[in-house]
Structure 1
Amino acid sequence: ARWRRRQGFERTFGMFNTMGLDDGDVLILIMDYLKRKQLMGTMCTLEEEAGIQSQEEIEELKTLKDLVLKGKWEEAESFLQVVEPAAKEQHNQALFVLRKQMFMELLDEGEKRPELGELVQVLKGLEELCDKAEFKELCFFLTLTDIRQQPELKHWTATGGRYTAYDAMSGILTPLFSSSAGASAARLPEGPNRLEEVLSRGVWHQ
């Protein structure tokens, strides 16, 4: 059985090579698949160990990504200060996303969860960055013993939350920087199911 699986892997990767995709392209497709399946911890580990970005990113934001994924909140806020003078609105939007993730992780610390007073102080730093509805929702989270009691947060994890937060921040900040697309992007299909699309193409090529 192990030998048959190995043969299957070899045929699959041979198919990728025939389609003009290198190992980096294949890893990007796998990470894209893991992301869609909400296996964020696995995806981030693969991304870090492979040394390949799961999506095309501009150089200026790679530092921010590293800080967010490692939970270095103060350093990440310092990074955002660079864009504040020229783009106050985008700065505030990104800062809200960052502080919200930090707040969510504090709520998720179980027995180590900070005292209410400390959490309220963190909330005050969020109030000036969001509208009343968003702030009301954050206050509601304080009443939950587990934030996963909220239906939309049922599968929330700190790792997944950090990646989602960075994605949102990247979307806000990318227009402020010049961007250059990598060569691999042109070879990969667009759309929500890229790995499945490539595998389907490979079947037709055989």
Structure 2
Amino acid sequence: MTRGFAVVQTLLVIASAIACGWYATTKSMHFPLALRDQFWVCETGYTLPQPSLDAFWDSEYSSALRAAREPSLYLASLDAEAVPVEVVRFTWLRSFHNPVVVRIDASADGTMRMTATETYNGALVDGRGYRRVSRVLSADEAVALRSLLETDRLAQAAPIGCEEGLDGAQWLIERSGRGHYDLWRRWSPDSGPVHEVGLMMLKLTGWSVEPVY
């Protein structure tokens, strides 16, 4: 019995090592690899410095974005002639509900278009999102969103939070423009700029997304 347990334990260790090695060597499809070497010290929660985006979460977010047929905002930021001129995207990965991606494309004339996609079990259904909506924001909606984005609270926030938990939701905000790319991620935030921007973008979809966690 003891020997059998030892064998199983050894196999689990080997499998874990293989998985870690795979994630570590996998190229990102959506995010700059430099984020894996950008570490932040948390005052609470994790005891060791954490990367802005490790290989595991890079893979999880990239999978969700591929399923929603979303482009890499980082690569778009490298294009000096990219259109639209600025993009903000909220990716919401929930433990018990479908992933939701909300993207705002801002044009040079100030027009903002919102595109939201909810995938079913991480995939499109019949080539379409489980739910998908795309529309131009009203002038009032665009002003409200721009006002929130232009405060210093989001710009000055650390790329990562210090929250921990087994279940909940990953909140990711990306902001991309010509020559710049920024990212902020949190685990089930209940306050702060990432929470505020995510909630506003969810509201713009017009969907019922309860519970929010």
Greater relative contact order, per chain length (Cα 8 Å cut-off, separation 6+)? 1
Normalised to the residue count of structure 1, the TM-score between the two structures is: 0.27
Normalised to the residue count of structure 2, the TM-score between the two structures is: 0.27
Higher strand fraction: Structure 1 or Structure 2? 2
Higher Rg of the two aligned structures: 1
